[in-house]
Amino acid sequence: MKTAVVYASYHHRNTEKIAEAIAPVLNGTLVPILQTDTLPDVTDFDLLAIGSGIYRWKFHDKITDFVENLPDGGQRHVILFSTSAFKNHKFHDAIQKRLEEKNYHVIGHFHAKGSASFLPEWLTSHRIKGGKDKGRPNQAELMAAVRFAEEVKSMMEEVK
């Protein structure tokens, strides 16, 4: 099985830690979309893992553009992962909907808290001034990411 792990991560590289945790399990090629212009040909991969920090409730625009430019998925499998200051199960909805419209099959989601030292004014409260959730994702969350990847790997082997 071959996986492309395409992710956007810049604030504290929190999402990159998740990408790096899941990639070895899924035989993944890391594609840090903000640091490269070379995008993968998704037809070379069995699984597409797409991740992002959450910025203003959304995946990074570069990820949105990447998804917009994907060819028809032919029911290719996808997993989505993210880190954010707050947990909100709707963060993945828009990107999942677009992937499904393009004929991709989203088979799993992973989310972890990510440290944040800057948050837009409209999001800040006294509670989080000066930084939030230092050290997240933590070791336990990275282990949970590995377990998630192992489950996805088993799922992929079953559908083969």
CB nearer ligand FMN, residue 3 or residue 84 = 84
Three-class SS state of 141 = helix
Q: Which residue is nearest to ligand FMN (CB)?
A: 114
Under the binding rule (CB under 6 A), the answer on residue 12 touching ligand FMN is: yes
Closest distance of CB 16 from ligand FMN, Å: 6
Residues 46, 21 contacting (CB under 8 angstroms): no
Give the chain's radius of gyration (CA, Å). Answer: 15
CB nearer ligand FMN, residue 28 or residue 73 = 28
Contact map string, positions 21 to 60, toward ligand FMN, x by CB under 6 A: --------------------------------xxxxx---
Name the one residue in this structure whose structure tokens are 């994907």. 70
Rounded distance between C-alpha atoms, residue 159 and residue 74, angstroms: 15
Q: State residue 30 phi and psi, 5-degree precision.
A: -75, 130
**How many residues make contact with ligand FMN (CB under 6 A)?**
24
Contact map string, positions 72 to 91, toward ligand FMN, x by CB under 6 A: -----------xxxx-----
Nearest to 80 by CA among 102, 103, 59: 59
Rounded distance between C-alpha atoms, residue 14 and residue 119, angstroms: 15
CB nearer ligand FMN, residue 3 or residue 15 = 15
Closest distance of CB 14 from ligand FMN, Å: 4
> Which residue among 13, 62, 98, 153 contacts ligand FMN (CB under 6 A)?
13
Rounded distance between C-alpha atoms, residue 31 and residue 22, angstroms: 13
Q: State residue 8 phi and psi, 5-degree precision.
A: -115, 130
Residues numbered 101-130 forming contacts with ligand FMN, rule: CB under 6 A: 114-116, 118-120, 123
